[in-house]
A = this chain, B = another copy of it.
Amino acid sequence: MMPDYFEKHQERLRQAVETIQSRAAWSPFSDSPSRKIHGDAVDKGLAAFQARLHQPFEIDQPGTIGRTGFEVSPYTQEPLGITYPKTDLDVLYEAAHGAIPTWRDAGARARVGVCMEIVERWNKNSFESANAVMHTTGQSFPMAFAGGGPNAQERGLEAIAYAWQKMSRIAESAAWERAFGPAQVKLQKRYVLKPRGIAVVIACATFPTWNAYPAIMANLATGNAVVVKPHPATILPMALAVESARTVLSEAGFDPNLITLVVDTVAEPIAKDLVARPDTAIVDFTGSAQFGAWIEQNAHGKLVYTETSGVNSVVLESTDDLKGLAQTLGSALCLFSKQMCTSPQNVYIPRKGFRHGDTTMSFDETANALVETINGLLSEPARAAGILGAIQSENILHLIDRAREVGQARGKILRDAAPYAHPEFPNARTRTPLILGLDISDTDIYSREWFGPVIHFIAADDAEQALAQAARDAKQFGAINSYAYSTDPKFIERAQDAFGDAGANLSINLIGPMPLTYAAAFSDYHVSGLNPAGNATLTDASFVSGRFRIVQTRTLV
């Protein structure tokens, strides 16, 4: 007998549905990688990861026509040596299509149960996955575990909860009766949920699981088949996720080809082919703004969900806790070498002075305080390693070099980037952050995303001017998060209005151990869809409700 996964996970699902409503704090999974909690799972995960290296990663999916794979660890700068199937898309798509009807007809309850079980398996495999995330993206191990594991899995659960909420609320049938003239007409109506078809999930290089898990779950739960296309530099985390999902599907009696992996290379990308295929019905994309725009322009008639990039700003008006601010903001500017879509990039400092309690600090004093704090945070290699991680790709090193040239020519180098010695991985590709001092007139430099450890301290006349510029950039170039520090409630209100109009979420006076960039599943809405940083929100109703459709029949009674 097949396991009833819905029943197994009923309580967790109930709580997830309750929490997407309340948006309160709830975490079914611990995001600490501590041995005290997880015991020997830590070592087993590492061993499992190591056993993957220098091996073909076997996925028994149709249309395999060779092998490929060129991942390099940012920590060792050596190839992982793992190869993945190269795929004949026609064959794969045919198999995916063939898998849909049984999955569709199994109904929402069965599908949601299986999806809950897949997330459970992903959770059980968090340590192997964390090592995979670490050695492809460059994230530190604790972040690769928390952000790539439990936090991402919870976003997957959140998407399932929305899918269940939406699907279970649709009446399956109705007895309908009304008078037409003197006669009563009685109809029996039946409403059947239908998936759209094949959904392509294109994952990014630096934070692959966090956006891909919810997209996969939203698609699978609503009855679609999913083709996962990882970034060529970051395949392993997605291959592991696909493998687990296929296993669960098989165990539950479904066709594993409901989820498949398609791998490409930098030299021969296939994302455009996938998007353009007439039988691709849905595209979920995380990556560059440029390719996101291409998708929006070429995915005619398809459902497209994007998260691309943005210019996240910090407006400093006043504070009564300079030390706390500098610690919290300094950490956020450094975290994962600013290779996150929620990382702050542009820090506006008022030329007229940043008020700290009763004193007023000049631009230079404020900038110095932040730089010194950052230097302190990074002074010990072990601590630096935990915060900065490694640099995901060579391209980001070139970006830093370009930024340094720009800074030398046009502004000031307030802090230069430099390699730091990673205590465990001497060959790690590392850089501490480059901080440029710019003027608010230098929009050509700072009004775009510099993805990597490039930070701008921008001198504005005052906080009002800074706010106007930061909000304008958010609206025009996209922003996911914005940050304001002020003890003036009126200024806070204006900041809420300005960033709100720009569709940028705002964090106010956040000081403390929570990373500024942290976004909590079930509670934080990630990306508003109101500016170019993306059109999809993790997770709201509209992230899920269009992925299935309703077809009805009416029968005369």
Name A's B-contacting residues (CB within 8 A).
21-25, 27, 166, 169-171, 174-178, 180-181, 183, 185, 187, 189-192, 194, 196, 293, 296-297, 300-301, 492, 496, 499-501, 503-514, 520, 523-525, 528-530, 535, 537, 540-542, 545-546, 549-556
Contacts and interface: CB of A to CB of B under 8 A. Distances in A.
A166 B545 CA distance: 11
Contacts of A552: 505-506, 524-525
A500 B300 contact: no
Given A530-B196, A545-B542, A22 B505 contact: no
A553 B494 CA distance: 12
A25 B525 contact: no
Nearest to A514: B185
A166 B523 contact: no
Given A185-B512, A514-B180, A528 B194 contact: yes
A508 B504 CA distance: 50
10 contacts: A23-B174, A25-B177, A25-B178, A185-B514, A194-B528, A296-B300, A503-B549, A508-B554, A528-B549, A529-B549
Contacts of A510: 187, 554, 556
Contacts of A492: 555
Contact of A192 (B21, B301, B500): B500
Given A23-B171, A25-B176, A530-B194, A554 B500 contact: no
Contacts of A177: 25
A420 B365 CA distance: 89
Contacts of A514: 180, 185, 187
Contacts of A171: 21-23
A528 B551 contact: yes
Contacts of A530: 194, 196, 549, 551
A352 B57 CA distance: 56
Nearest to A324: B556
Given A500-B551, A503-B551, A174 B525 contact: no
B541 A175 contact: no
User: Copy number in this complex?
Assistant: 2
B176 A512 contact: no
Given A174-B24, A191-B525, A541-B166, A556 B503 contact: no
Contacts of A21: 169, 171
Given A185-B512, A537-B550, A541-B166, A176 B523 contact: yes
A491 B376 CA distance: 77
Given A21-B171, A170-B540, A528-B549, 13 more contacts: A23-B176, A23-B189, A24-B174, A24-B175, A185-B512, A194-B530, A293-B301, A296-B301, A503-B549, A505-B551, A505-B552, A508-B554, A546-B546
Contacts of A175: 24
A24 B189 CA distance: 9
Contacts of A296: 300-301
Contacts of A174: 22-24, 523
Contacts of A553: 496, 499-500, 505-508
Contacts of A525: 191, 550-552
A81 B553 CA distance: 44
Nearest to A179: B513
Contacts of A496: 190, 553
A49 B529 CA distance: 43
A191 B496 CA distance: 11
Nearest to A520: B176
Contact of A556 (B191, B499, B508, B524): B508
A422 to B, nearest CB: 23
Contact of A23 (B191, B499, B542): B191
